[in-house]
Amino acid sequence: MSGLDPFELRITIERGDIDALGHVNNVTYVRWVQDAATAHWTAAAPPEEQLRLAWIILRHEIDYKVSAVLGDGIIARTWVGGASKLRFERLTEILREKDRAVLAKARTIWCPIDRATGKPVSVSPAVRAGFSRGPLSGQAAAL
């Protein structure tokens, strides 16, 4: 699998994901965004980079479109947009499996950190080329 390919993670809604209104709680969508990003990195990144790097979130933006309920099959579809040495824009769509309706869309800015020091660290040009679709621009680049 290439890091450039959109990655899909199948998710099962658990009873604890449901809020008082009878649908999936907004916080659960944020967790799914993180779970999909982590699974994509694990599936596509070189093992030596996985040992060297961890990722922290600098910013989440999420738009909720349609509610999900217990029993819905869910797919989190994710890919990396633009990137700089220290910022990666990750885009995610949360889909209902049966009709692929978009339930939510997220844009998250991630920063790579060195696992040993916990400090931000540049990714190699190979990782940037293997995951991102080009340079990061706008406000995300300035974070």
Q: What is the pLDDT of residues 85-104, one digit of tens each?
A: 899 999 999 999 999 999 99
- Count the neighbouring beta carbons within 10 Å of the beta carbon of residue 104: 23
Q: Quote the pLDDT of residue 140.
A: 56
Write down all domains in the chain, each with its CATH number in brackets: 7-142 (3.10.129.10)
Q: Quote the pLDDT of residue 22.
A: 96
Q: Quote the pLDDT of residue 113.
A: 97
38 pLDDT higher than 90: yes
pTM value is: 0.90
- How would residue 43 be classed by pLDDT, with cut points 50, 70 and 90? very high
- Count the neighbouring beta carbons within 10 Å of the beta carbon of residue 34: 19
- How would residue 141 be classed by pLDDT, with cut points 50, 70 and 90? low
For residue 50, give every residue at least 6 positions away whose Cβ sits within 8 Å of its Cβ, in sequence order, or none: 41, 42
Q: Quote the pLDDT of residue 90.
A: 96
Q: Quote the pLDDT of residue 133.
A: 75
Q: Tell me the per-residue pLDDT of 103-116, one tens digit each, with 9 for 90 and over.
A: 999 999 999 999 99
What single string gives the DSSP state of each residue in 70-136? Answer: TT-EEEEEEEEEEE-SS-EEEEEEEEETTT--EEEEEEEEEEEEETTT-SB-PPPHHHHHHH-SEE-
